[in-house]
Each structure stands twice: as structure tokens, then as C-alpha cells.
Amino acid sequence: MNLNPQNFAAAINQVCDEKKINAEAVFEAVADAIKAAYRKDFGNRDQNLEVILDHDTGKANVLLVKKIVEEVENPQAEISVVDAQQIKKGLKVGAKIKIDVTPFDYGRIASQSAKQVIIQKIQEAERKAIYAEYSDREDELLNALVHRVDGRFVHLELDRTTAILEPRDQIPRERYQQGQRVKVYLEKVELTPRGSMLKVSRTHPRLIFRLMELEIPEVRNGTVVVKAIARDAGVRCKLVVDSTDPNVDPVGACVGQRGVRIQNITDEVNGERIDVIEFSEDFETMLKEVLSPAKLDHFVKHDDEKRVEVYVAEDQRALAIGKNGQNVRLAGEIMGWEIDILNTAELSGEVETEEKDDSRKEKSDSEKPTEDEKTEKPAKKKTGEKKSKEKKDDSKKSEEIKEPKKKETMNEEKVEKEEESNESAEKPAEEEKKDE
């Protein structure tokens, strides 16, 4: 089978440039297509064929490979020693012979089969090439173009392939338009029967790190190291940074002059707030920094549960917790601890109750009678009863004494009233006598 050398070479080069695949893969696809065409017109599937293809001229020779045996059982794959020696002398049993069976031309059906095989093989080679390229680029930042928006799914065009940005990987309240350029984080690459599947995201915490590498030279060259990242996509992000150079301020390097560097990253992630925190080995210092802007009063660590109770003032509790618990949740992710926010008043109340309980215990212990006091108590009760009886008798006597006194006073008052009435009656009588 002879092809036009110029057309053949040009076609191979064009396919390799467009699909960005290796030329060997294309030549292999063409050889498989010639085998399929030969089997369609002249042979069958049991034949062992070999195609020798000249990469420069495109000339293809088809060879039928058979095994030399003493008795032939499968004529399609075996040949007798006698027949083999007629073709080439000196051959022995067990050796293989290649017979040139190159046809002059192929039929239309065979040509269509060859075309389909070439297309299929080139597509497979392209999938493998894409997978090999992007599998090495996992955990990297990619530039993508929005091809179309299908409901909640966004179809993106990358360098050589396409990807779908799923709803869970989209920043909340972010709108995408056709032709818009966005940066996405390549999380994972999988090879499927349909081709390479790229999982991209705009909500992954590592997206912030890759954007920092892009915008901040100190992060890119390793002078500033990002220790930890906790992110609530589209709303807030906390990241801890440290410096390998004592002369470089890690927070200042990330923020930039007048906040220009961090503002560029914020704009790329739809206005997401980014808090840059300097790393510290001291647990208390880190705890105060990650819960900023809230001010801490006291904290209690539970190392066995990896939990910490943080006590803050009542007016600081809302700041420490954040909207929908966002601040304390991100702080817990950064620290790797479970953080409980409590009021300082609760802490003081617990101390007071403990003191009261201790004082009550001391009083109860002091008020407990000894064995001698227990034996003396019954006697005290009897003497007390006698005294109460004597008091009652004295009170009765005093009441009896008071009653006669009351009676005497009543009688005296009556006598005085009678005398006054008599004197008043006598005065008018004397006056009458004087008038007479």
C-alpha cells in the first residue's frame, strides 16, 4: 500500500500539532488501521499481522506471521516445515516466518474501517497525553475561560481540554459570564473511558496559597512560609504565616504597602476577607491571635480531649464567636483544637459557688457536736424546760397582780366622777340662795 509521501507527512505533522501528541502514537494508529483494513478484505481476526510503515514515504507493507510446525492444526497461524522451506530454506520447527501479503488496494468498506480505527486511536492517544500533562499539574493554579453556563454548572475551557466547575466548588454569590477569565485550583485528575476528567475548584483553601505565590515574591521564594489555612469561601479566610528570615516581617510582606498585595487576592476571590496571622510557638499567643478581634480574659486547656474553654466578657462574646460561628470555627481549624466560648461571669460565678460551698462545709464541720456535747444536750433541754415553766408562773402572777390594780383604779375614777357631779349640783343651789 503506497501513499503520497508529501500528503502523508503533512497529515501526520498536522495531527501531531493540533492534538499535541507524539508522532509515534499517530504512526501506531495508522499501522493498526491498515491491519483492520486487511482483515476486512483479505483475512480474518485469527491472523497474526505485522505492518512495516515507512515514516518518511508512508509506504506500508503487510506481513503475515506464521509458526512453523510439523503438523498444521490452524492454517491461519501455522505453516508446515515443507511449505516454509519452499519460501525460505534452512527454517526449522518452532521458528516463525513472515510472508509478505501486501495488497494492491483496499475496498471502500476497508478504507472506512481504517479511518475509524485511526480516529479512535488518535483520541485515545490524546486522552493519555492530556492525562499525563495535567496529572503532573495537580495542586496548581490554572487559567480558565468560561465557555458557557448551564444552570448551576459552569463549563470551562483550559489549554487543551475542558472542565466543569460544579456548584459546590463555586464561591457563593459569585456570577459567571461567557468569555470571563477565572483562576481555578486543580484538585485532582482522573482518567475515565470518556477521557481525562479534571476536578477544579474555587473554594479550596489551597487556592489562596497559590494566589499568594502569584502575588507575593516572598511566598514564592520561600522566605515567608504559610503554616495553616482555614477558609469559609467567599466570606472569610484565616492564614498563619512565618518567616525564615528574621529581618522580614511575614504579615507585612503578605499585606503589602497600603494592603495592595492582599487586596489583589481579595478581589480575585470575590471580596473574601483574609486575616493574616503571625505564627507563634506560644499557645496562648496563638489563641489570642486566631480569635482576634475578640479579647480573651482566661482559658482552660483540656489536653486529653484537645479542647480549650475560652472565657471572654459579655460584650466580646459575639466577636469571638462571629457570624454563624464563623470566627471560632476557623480558629479551631487553625489551632487543631475544639474551642468553647464562655462568659467570664460564668467563671467568676463558679469560683464564688465553690468558695461558698467550702465555707458551708467549714461551718457545718464546726457546728457538728462532739460526743461530750451530745451527752450533755438532754440535760440542757430539761433545765430549759424548768426555766420556761418558772417564767410562765411569774407571768401569771404578774397578770393577777395587775388585774386588782386595774380594778382599784376603776373604782377611784368612779368616785371622783360622782363627787364632781355632786359639786356641780350644789353650786346652782347656793347661787339661788344668794339671789334670794
What cell numbers appear for 347 in the block?
Answer: 467563671
For residue 434, how many C-alpha atoms fall within 13 Å in the half-sphere facing its CB? 6
What fold, for 5-132?
A: N Utilization Substance Protein A; Chain:P; domain 4 (3.30.1480)
**Residues 258-274: pLDDT tens digits?**
899 999 999 999 999 99
Q: Pick the residue with more confidence: 366 or 314?
A: 314
Name the band, by pLDDT with cuts 50, 70 and 90, for residue 360.
low
- Residue range 160-183, pLDDT digits in tens: 889 999 999 999 989 999 999 999
Beta bridge partners of 184: 142
Band of residue 415 on the pLDDT scale cut at 50, 70, 90: very low
Please name which of 206, 210, 218 lies closest in space to residue 243, comparing C-alpha atoms.
218
Q: What's the pLDDT at 395?
A: 46
On average, the pLDDT of the chain sits at: 79
- Cβ(223)–Cβ(243) below 8 Å: yes
Give pLDDT, residue 367: 52
The set of cell numbers assigned to 361 is 462545709
Structural contact between residues 229 and 239, judged by C-beta atoms closer than 8 angstroms: yes
Domain 137-201 has CATH 3.40.190.10: no
Nearest Cα neighbor of 250 from 274, 271, 225 is 225
Q: Which of 134, 223, 228, 127 is nearest to 185 (CA)?
A: 134
pTM over 0.85: no
For the structural domain made of 220-279, what CATH number should be given? Answer: 3.30.300.20
Which residue in this structure is represented by grid cell 503520497? 4
Residue 341, classed as helix, strand or coil, is: strand
What is the residue type of 360?
R
Contact between 84 and 29 (Cβ < 8 Å): no
Is 214 a residue whose pLDDT tops 70? Answer: yes
Q: Which CATH class for the 281-371 domain?
A: alpha beta
Q: How confident is the model at residue 198, as a pLDDT?
A: 92
SS3 state at 68 = strand
Q: Is the pLDDT of residue 307 over 90?
A: yes
Q: Do domains 5-132 and 220-279 have the same CATH topology?
A: no
pLDDT of 2 reads 46
Model confidence at 373: pLDDT above 50: no
Residue 353 grid cell: 459557688
Q: Is the peptide bond before 167 cis (omega within 30 degrees of 0)?
A: no
Among the residue ranges 17-21, 163-167, 336-340, the one predicted with the least confidence is 17-21
Kindly list the domain boundaries of the chain, sorted by start residue: 5-132, 137-201, 220-279, 281-371
